[in-house]
Amino acid sequence: MRRQGGSDQRPVIRGRWLEPLLGGLLALVTVPLLAAPRSPAADSDWGTYLGDKASSHFSALRQITPRNVANLEVAWIYRAGGADTNNRTQIQCNPLVIDGVLYGTSPDLQLFALDAAGGRELWRFDPASVKGAGKSGVNRGLVHWADGADRRIFYGNDHFLHCLDARTGRRVASFGEGGSIDLKHDLGRDVGALALQSTTPGVLYGDLLIMGMRLGEGPAPAAPGHIRAYDVRNGKLVWRFNTIPRPGESGYETWPPNAHTYIGGVNVWTGFALDEKRGLVFCPTGSAAFDFWGGNRIGQGLYANCLVALDAKTGRRVWHQQLVRHDLWDRDLPAPPNLLTLTRGGKKVDAVAQVTKSGHVFVFDRETGEPVFPLREVAAPMSDLQGESAWPTQPLPTKPAPFTRQLFTADEITDISPASHRQVLDRFVRLRPHAQFLPPSREGTIIFPGFDGGAEWGGAAADPDGVLYVNANEMPWVLNMVETKRADGGPLSSGEAIFTQICAACHGIDRTGNKAQNVPSLVGVGQRLKKADVLALLKTGKGVMPSFDFLSGPQREAVVDHLLGDAPASTPASANDPRGKEELGGADALGGIPYTMTGYHRWLDTNGYPAIKPPWGTLNAIDLNTGGYRWRVTLGEWPELMAKGIPPTGTENYGGPVVTAGGLVFIAASRDEHLRAFDRKSGKELWKAKLPAAGYATPATYSVGGRQYVVIACGGGKIGTQSGDAYVAFRLPR
């Protein structure tokens, strides 16, 4: 139930987490509960995703300081509703706050506006009200645009971009078709049956809204990830930059001929950074699909895994740097880059810094793309998978040093307990020894840092002094490849084979699902769902599950019959289909990929802790003027390990930090369901508060009525934690 109330009302807090929340706040107060002297704070917005177009995560507010942060108290709690009882929903939204109004999204992807001082709901928009639109994926943020009295909120959901009146929550009819545009259009080829979701907001340059998108990354066909700019007034396409070049475009020669007609991916799913003065938009791209086998895309593959600087007005490429060549490890650039100004050799350098899943920071001159710290080429191992040709070298920065460990050796095996050590060691000796850029294999390849970093989509914060604050995961994963063809080399076209190729990566070969990834088990699915229901899910998708509408009707029937145990193992999925083989393709339509992976598997010990020695999660302050570190601390804790006298280990974390002129770094992100404040100079933890669910999102800070607030979305739902529906705002007492 959503809380209603004005800004001067005390919040009504009910539920099983009341006592831990209040108890945690009181226990953490180390000074009397009287607000320490503080400077006044003028009203201040959080008007752009991640704070500003530079993606700095920085706020000039200074009312909350290291001296008084321990006095923070709950200002209001808003229950958005829509949380899934099976703990599969999340809230990843970094809300906007403009002129005293907070805009955010619910676990079930509805958009709402609140009184930012009191948490009272003003209006709500349900995308399911739009004909043809569904609700899928997640939402990480919104875009606000204003021209006089014309104020609009741009909101991506499913494969649509919606334009709403910021005052009423109603769609603006003059934009697109009745207030929405279909992002499956204008990509240069038909992607109508392929997965595409708008999860992260674009960036505004004048009256242009520059957009990215999330796409399929598996062995199934995937849409291309071209970057597009739309007119904010009418929704018309203004320019498109082809991330997979077409004939005559620069970079076309780095792919096989005509790759643009069948390769997908190479998308910006993370968001952008914009230098408005120079008119440059910085675009971090992901890998080409399929993530883990690239025999059909042999070559360097520009502009995959690149930081690309485009002319924001025209979409013309100004410069690019490729950070991973011929990616075989799902090493997408995971977050928007940060724009910041450094002092190097006594001179000011306007730079752009890009954090990576591998735990590196690449820093470039904003205008030229030249590295601020030299890059080095390191030799990379070759692949032994059929048809694959790994790139022989990869670039790495000489500074800063990585913010995660780079090798998982026997010396790094967990020592949490003797039993855990033995269990991990038994598996360790059966896998290929870990090395940087070791290609995927059938025997099992250690991916460390893992598929979720290093850095992840929460990204880094940057202060005006040139210091970067980045949280990191140190979790090993294991990647196993399996063949998708028969021993005689013929294609597997049964329902079982299609499941293996396009479903097993998430649900597992054994169909047991992946709780940590919010992927349900399919074992016994016939006891829970009717055949017609499963067929409908394959066609439409649901939540984080994409649509598999590119499969023909008989192919979907074959997959469902396999899941229900009703199909002969050798029944061709293309049998009796009225379309020709070239149109349908059977197994060939799935890309002719000879391998798939068995699933995304974190390497955990028998107690569910990471297989590597702690720390498992850290927060790092890196001085990019020098390339050195200011400090590094653990982020998050396991209470049961603390009770055994084990020092804080850190936990997996999702969502980024916010840094303030008041001298603090605020971050939730950890699986232990806390929001924390750290001293910006020393890294000392000064305050933490228990949340109703984990805050897997980036906080926002703003000022209304002269009072500074910090708000965090508490959606939980990842890595096996409970789902939630709350936004919690904190402020100092009067």
The pair phi, psi for residue 124, each rounded to 5°, is: -150, 145
Q: Quote the crossing angle between the two packed helices 553-564 and 495-502, to the nearest 10°.
A: 90
Looking at residue 486, its pLDDT comes to 58
Looking at residue 679, its pLDDT comes to 98
User: Quick one: pLDDT at residue 524?
Assistant: 81
Q: In this structure, are 344 and 200 located in the same domain?
A: yes
* Band of residue 597 on the pLDDT scale cut at 50, 70, 90: very high
38 lies in the same domain as 86? yes
**How high is the pLDDT of residue 590?**
54
- Looking at the structure of the chain, the number of domains it has is 3
**What is the 8-class DSSP label of residue 593?**
-
Same domain, 559 and 706: no
- pLDDT, residue 497, reads 67
- Residue 271 in tokens: 């968001």
* pLDDT at 544 > cutoff 90: no
Residue 202 pLDDT: 98
For residue 169, being part of any structural domain is answered with: no
Give pLDDT, residue 460.
98
Tokens 């439409």 sit at which residue? Answer: 540
Least confident of 34-38, 91-95, 307-311, 556-560: 34-38
Pairwise pLDDT comparison (154 vs 575), residue with the higher score: 154
Predicted confidence (pLDDT) at residue 18 exceeds the cutoff of 70:
no
Helix, strand, or coil (residue 667) = strand
* 277 and 315, same domain (yes or no): yes
Cα–Cα distance for residue pair 704/622, rounded to 1 Å: 32
658 and 525, same domain (yes or no): no
Length of the chain: 734
* Model confidence at 333: pLDDT above 70: yes
Q: Looking at per-residue confidence, does 678 or 519 come out higher?
A: 678
CA distance 228 to 202: 10
Q: In the structure, what pLDDT confidence band is assigned to residue 26 with cuts at 50, 70 and 90?
A: very low
In a domain, 467, yes or no: yes
Judge whether 427 lies within some domain. Answer: no
CA 560 – CA 566 distance, rounded (Å): 8
Q: Which of 561, 592, 623 is a domain's end point?
A: 592
**Would you say residue 703 has pLDDT above 90?**
yes
The predicted structure's pLDDT at residue 503:
79
- If 0-12 CB within 10 Å is exposed, 13-18 middle and 19+ buried, where does residue 675 land? buried
Measured over all CA atoms, what is the biggest interatomic distance in the chain, rounded to whole angstroms?
Answer: 78
Question: Per the domain annotation, does 605 fall within a domain?
Answer: no
Of 421, 371, 181, 12, the closest CA to residue 362 belongs to 371
In a domain, 608, yes or no: no
pLDDT of residue 220: 87
Q: Which range is least confidently modeled, 4-18, 196-210, 211-225, 316-330?
A: 4-18
Is 545 in the same domain as 651?
no
Reduce the DSSP state of residue 349 to 3 states and report it: strand
Closest-CA residue to 284 (of 296, 268, 273, 295): 268
Tell me phi and psi for residue 68, to 5 degrees.
-115, 0
CATH number at residue 512: 1.10.760.10
CA separation for the pair 127, 32 (Å, rounded)? 47
Strand residues in 134-279 grouped as ranges (E): 143-147, 150-157, 160-165, 180-182, 196-197, 203-205, 208-211, 214-215, 227-231, 237-241, 264-265, 273-275
* CA distance linking residue 202 with residue 654, whole number of Å: 20
Closest CA to 537 of 528, 547, 527: 547
Based on the fold, state whether residues 61 and 96 are members of the same structural domain.
Answer: yes
Q: Of the ranges 550-564, 628-642, 684-698, 701-715, which one carries the lowest mean pLDDT score?
A: 550-564
> pLDDT at position 229, please?
99
Q: Is residue 384 domain-shared with residue 464, that is, in the same domain?
A: no
pLDDT at residue 7 tops 60: no
Assigned domain for 420 exists:
no
**Helical H segments across 368-443, by residue range:** 418-428
How is residue 469 written in tokens?
């604050």
The amino acid present at 413, given as its one-letter code, is I
Instruction: Please report the DSSP string for 539-552 in residue order.
Output: HH-BBTBPP-TTS-
β-strand partners of 371: 364
Of the chain, the percentage scoring pLDDT greater than 70 comes to: 88
In a domain, 296, yes or no: yes
In tens, the pLDDT along 452-508 reads: 999 999 999 999 999 999 999 999 999 999 998 655 555 555 777 677 777 776 787
7, two tokens:
């800004």
Together in a domain, 366 and 495: no
Output the average pLDDT for the chain: 89
Distances from the Cα of 117 to the Cα of 250, 368, 729, 730, angstroms = 51, 44, 9, 10
**CB 352 within 8 Å of CB 284:** no
Q: 238 phi and psi, to 5 degrees? A: -105, -45
Q: Are residues 711 and 643 in the same domain?
A: yes
**pLDDT tens digits along 426-453:** 999 999 999 999 999 999 999 999 999 9
The pLDDT of residue 531: 80
Q: Looking at residues 601-609, what average pLDDT do you find?
A: 96
Instruction: Render pLDDT for 34-61 as a digit per residue (tens, 0 to 9).
Output: 333 344 566 899 999 999 999 999 999 9
Mean pLDDT, rounded, for 84-107: 97
Domain end, chosen from 383, 404, 425, is at 404
Q: Are residues 57 and 126 in the same domain?
A: yes
Q: Which domain holds residue 493?
A: 485-592
In angstroms, the Cα distances linking 473 to 209, 374, 431 are 32, 25, 22
Nearest to 49 by CA among 258, 218, 204: 204
Euclidean distance between CA atoms 710 and 732, whole angstroms:
10
Enter the pTM of the model: 0.89
> What pLDDT shows up at residue 493?
53
Indicate whether 90 and 224 sit together in one domain: no
Output the pLDDT for position 43: 80
In 276-346 the beta strands, taken as DSSP E runs, fall at: 280-284, 288-289, 306-311, 317-322, 338-344
Residue 17: pLDDT band (50, 70, 90) is very low
What per-residue confidence (pLDDT) applies to 411?
98
pLDDT score of 554 more than 50: yes
Measure the CA–CA gap between 99 and 705, rounded to whole angstroms: 10
Which pair of tokens denotes residue 267?
């998308």
* Residue range 247-253: mean pLDDT, rounded: 98
434 falls within a domain: no
Question: What tokens appear for 583 in the block?
Answer: 């149109």
Residues 639, 650 contacting (CB under 8 angstroms)? no
Final residue belonging to a domain, choices 560, 592, 624: 592
The pLDDT score that the predictor gives to residue 532 is 84
- Going 549 to 551 to 556 to 557, the CA torsion angle's sign is positive
Which CATH number fits the domain that encloses residue 362?
2.140.10.10
Confidence label for 348 from pLDDT (cuts 50, 70 and 90): very high
Least confident of 270-279, 328-337, 476-485, 550-559: 550-559
